Amino acid sequence: MANELNNRFNELMKGGDDFFSNLGRSFFNGFDDSFKEMKTDISESDTAYTVAVDLPGVDKKDIDIDFKDNALTISAKRDSFSDESDAKGNLLSSERSYGRFTRQYQFPNVDKDKVSAKYEAGVLTVTLPKTAEEISNSHKIEIE
């Protein structure tokens, strides 16, 4: 059903005036959902967890990281401005977005005093070293 509605909208936007075509597409496609989702890659080694979060367009000073009760919380704030003009330079739309977004991740057996983070090229990387107990606490259980 949603696909059918999208197809009808696309057909409507294909014909006619470029102004309405571009305006409609800007309205429905202009929202930056990639930031709101805080796309994340998480990897695990024998000694640590590594979390990489895409935070495009965010200043380092607008990122907060906290680790408490086995939960890593990442919050970020972004002000964004996006203007679209036609070929003659006339402003067709102006979208301004502002938001604070938060995600939380659960990690057991983390040495909270050794957690580190770096922010480069719009990607926040947090390293969460495992505690010694987690590294050496392997216990094989025999089946009777």
Instruction: Check residue 118 and give its pLDDT.
Output: 96
Q: What is the pLDDT along the chain (144 residues), one digit of tens a residue?
A: 545 554 555 555 555 444 444 444 444 444 444 445 689 999 999 999 999 999 988 899 999 999 999 999 999 998 766 666 677 777 666 665 668 889 999 999 999 999 999 999 999 999 999 998 755 556 677 787
Instruction: Check residue 95 and give its pLDDT.
Output: 63
Instruction: Check residue 11 and give its pLDDT.
Output: 58
| φ, ψ for residue 99, nearest 5 deg | -170, 160
Instruction: Check residue 142 and give its pLDDT.
Output: 78
Instruction: Check residue 24 and give its pLDDT.
Output: 47
Q: How far, in Å, CA of 111 to CA of 57, rounded?
A: 30
